[in-house]
Amino acid sequence: MLKTLLLHIYDLLAAHRRWLWISLVVVVLPFIGLALSLRFDEDIMDFLPVEDEDREALALYQSQQSASRLVLIVEGDSLREEAIDACAERLPDLQTELDPADALSAIYAQMPYFIADSTYRQLDSLFTPEAIRAALERDRALLSIPGTSMLGYTIQADPLGLVKLSSFGSQLITPNHSYAFYESPYGSTETRLNGALVDTLSSVADEVGALYPDMSLRWIGAPIIAVGNARRIKTDTLLCIALSLVLIILLLAYTFPRKRDLWLIMLSVSFGWLTAMAVLRLITPTVSAIVLGIGSVLIGIAVNYPLHLLVHQRYTSSVRQTLDEVLSPLVVGNTTTVGAFLALVPMQATALRHLGVFAAAMLVGTILFCIFVLPHLMSAEPTPVREISAHALFGQRAYKLTADKTTRLKHTCQWAIMAITTLLGVYLWLHPTERFDSNLSHINYMTPEQRADLAYFDSVSNPQRVMAEHPERAEQWTAYWQTHSADSLVASVQEEASATGFRPEAFTPFYDLLKNWYPIKAFDFRRITQSLSDSFDYIGLCCSLIVLVFLWLSFRNIWLALIAFVPMALSWVWILALMQLFDLQFNIVNIILASFIFGQGDDYTIFIVEGLLYEHRTGKTILPQYKQSIILSAMIMLIGIGILVLAVHPAMHSLGAVTLIGMLIVLVMAITIPPLLFRIYVRLRPQI
């Protein structure tokens, strides 16, 4: 029914070409305007499933951890302070020491988390008038000692000494290191503005380092890491895209000797990309540049649609016949692939939702162009296409050798693959391993020296770690004040403050804590990213169900649907096994390839099953044409994304590694397993 309608539209547009071009211009111009108004950022946090309560905890985390702070490390045996002074002359805002109030505010803002369990057990005795007076007298004595003025903030926030700071003192002073601090006015994730700042700071360190050659001066901090990641991603992306474009153009130029066909392929994919940008702009004014970087690999999927039309045109007598024979697998494959990507839309991570929308819109835009516009641009003459085969590449002799062996080995290989897959599945079931890496540092680009420096600073004083390790303390504090009066304690402290020489309002921060404090959940990156491990299972299950349902509806036969679906399920067994063999794991970046591999895999198996059905019902050979376009598409995909295995950035390298494994497995399964299952099905039910 749909096929008949689309062919009718083709006939109508063929008779009224003017309306087709007018409609295309009317669509393209607004799309260009929308795409140009889309803005980009480079915040990796968009890939985390952060809820509203987590955003509040994240804001607290960033303030407590001074996420915008850059630390100057000066290493050497002498003259360290002179080197820091030289830097301060060039950077007026450089802090040579931390403000005690700033350093301690993170602790006292959430003080109940830092009260020891033993202290909680004796709160009643600590809040008696006698104990309060003794504590305030001790505070007064401490303040009278010269050089202890830094205790002023501590005593204001905690006059009764509920928190023991012995484990939170400054540990940054070492015999061979000195430190200075600089606050970025741009936060920790604004890589464009921070990039210029980092360059300025680095030039100062180099200049001072030249004056003190025995000193080592280096900067660390979240802005440094963010800028380094952004620059490494851009460098790797430019190099890999340039190399992949050259290889893909050479491959297409070899396969399609006529330049017109190359332009038609690029035009089809470009329209799909423009559609995706426009749809994304309708949803959001700003999108992560990383989404578009990952989205670029969609070219490997989108290029399938014009490829199938152009390759198949070689074997037909008219464009309409080509469209008639290829339309069904094109539409079915596109529908299942779009459905797989739409499984990302309900996810909580903003970037994953945007990626799902971008992918679906690009593929829909490309298929619409291929159905309604591309046929009217194609030549009526058969498309000249060079085959990618042993015969074409290595000559007649090699072809004969491979052909003779293929007949005998094909069935053996198919059954061997099935048997090995079964054994792999049993092994993975008996020896399960962690398939998802939730550690963000593993996908951040850092030098070994940066990793060591950051690990040291994180171990010095990390209030968030205490909050994450002792969430029960907040419950203890809340439960205590449900049965006691905070106003009564405030009145007692004010009374004893007057008696010991303090002003009653001297401890206002402590009073505010008693009356207005509420717990904020600690922002735990591992907990947040671990939820993406659950998303991994969701993506796999959801994509599987969507693809299987669409296959069932399209073929109207559950067994044919399973013939197309089983190779993808078997592919995942192989992918997981090989990733375990090569010590690879999914992470918040390459997890997205779950949808990509499903999307590409179902296209391949649908074309193979459609070709098998067509040959069975008509007796006409069509499967070699389909295999030709599938192999060409897989090679483009492997070049386009697999080239990322050469990237230095860990996240991009993992994308390339998983793609190489995934696409090779999907290609082998799509070509070998459906014919085996189809033969079995035909023997049982000859009439389909």
Of 451, 485, 520, which marks where a domain is finished? Answer: 520
Find out whether 29 and 276 touch, Cβ atoms under 8 Å. no
CA–CA separation, 359 and 165 (whole Å): 52
The reported pLDDT for the residue numbered 279 is: 94
The CA angle 577-578-581, to the nearest 5 degrees, is 90
Same domain, 545 and 666: yes
137 in any annotated domain: yes
Same domain, 305 and 343: yes
Burial of residue 141 (number of CB atoms within 10 Å: 0-12, 13-18, 19+): exposed
339 in any annotated domain: yes
Total number of residues shown for the chain: 688
The reported pLDDT for the residue numbered 528 is: 62
350 in any annotated domain: yes
Residues 6+ apart with CB under 8 A from 31: 274, 275, 277, 278
The reported pLDDT for the residue numbered 595 is: 64
User: Which alpha helices (DSSP H) does 303-447 contain, by range?
Assistant: 304-312, 319-342, 350-372, 374-377, 390-394, 396-430
The reported pLDDT for the residue numbered 525 is: 59
Same domain, 31 and 136: no
Of 520, 538, 554, which marks where a domain is finished? Answer: 520
Same domain, 262 and 350: yes
Same domain, 497 and 592: no
- In 3D space, the residue among 357, 363, 368, 348 whose CA is nearest the CA of residue 280 turns out to be 357
Find out whether 184 and 29 touch, Cβ atoms under 8 Å. no
We report the CATH number of the domain holding residue 345 as 1.20.1640.10
Of 488, 520, 552, which marks where a domain is finished? Answer: 520
CA–CA separation, 329 and 313 (whole Å): 15
The reported pLDDT for the residue numbered 173 is: 47
Same domain, 511 and 530: no
Same domain, 11 and 122: no
Same domain, 677 and 544: yes
Is this model's pTM higher than 0.75 or not? no
The reported pLDDT for the residue numbered 382 is: 72
174 in any annotated domain: no
454 in any annotated domain: no
CA–CA separation, 392 and 387 (whole Å): 6
* Long-range contacts, stretch 657-660, CB < 8 angstroms, 24+ apart: 657/582, 657/584, 658/575, 658/579, 658/584, 658/586, 658/590, 658/593, 659/297, 659/593, 659/596
The reported pLDDT for the residue numbered 403 is: 47
- According to DSSP, the residues that pair with 182 across neighbouring strands are 70
The reported pLDDT for the residue numbered 366 is: 94
Domain of 653 in residue numbering reads as 2-46+256-386+433-443+525-684
Same domain, 369 and 268: yes
73 in any annotated domain: no
369 in any annotated domain: yes
Q: Based on the structure, what is the number of domains in the chain? A: 2
Find out whether 420 and 626 touch, Cβ atoms under 8 Å. no
Across the chain, which has 688 residues, the per-10-residue mean pLDDT values are 84 89 93 90 62 57 64 82 90 76 71 86 90 91 67 84 64 64 79 86 92 88 84 81 82 85 90 93 84 69 85 83 86 82 78 86 94 89 66 46 54 78 78 68 79 65 68 87 90 91 89 83 60 64 79 86 88 84 78 70 85 86 81 82 83 83 87 89 82
Same domain, 505 and 532: no
Same domain, 622 and 546: yes
Residues 6+ apart with CB under 8 A from 46: 288, 290, 291, 349, 350, 351, 354
The reported pLDDT for the residue numbered 179 is: 80
CA–CA separation, 494 and 504 (whole Å): 5
For residue 621, give the amino acid letter.
Answer: T
261 in any annotated domain: yes
Residues 6+ apart with CB under 8 A from 635: 251, 388
CA separation, residue 305 to residues 327, 434, 483 (Å) = 10, 37, 69
The reported pLDDT for the residue numbered 527 is: 61
The reported pLDDT for the residue numbered 602 is: 80
Same domain, 489 and 547: no
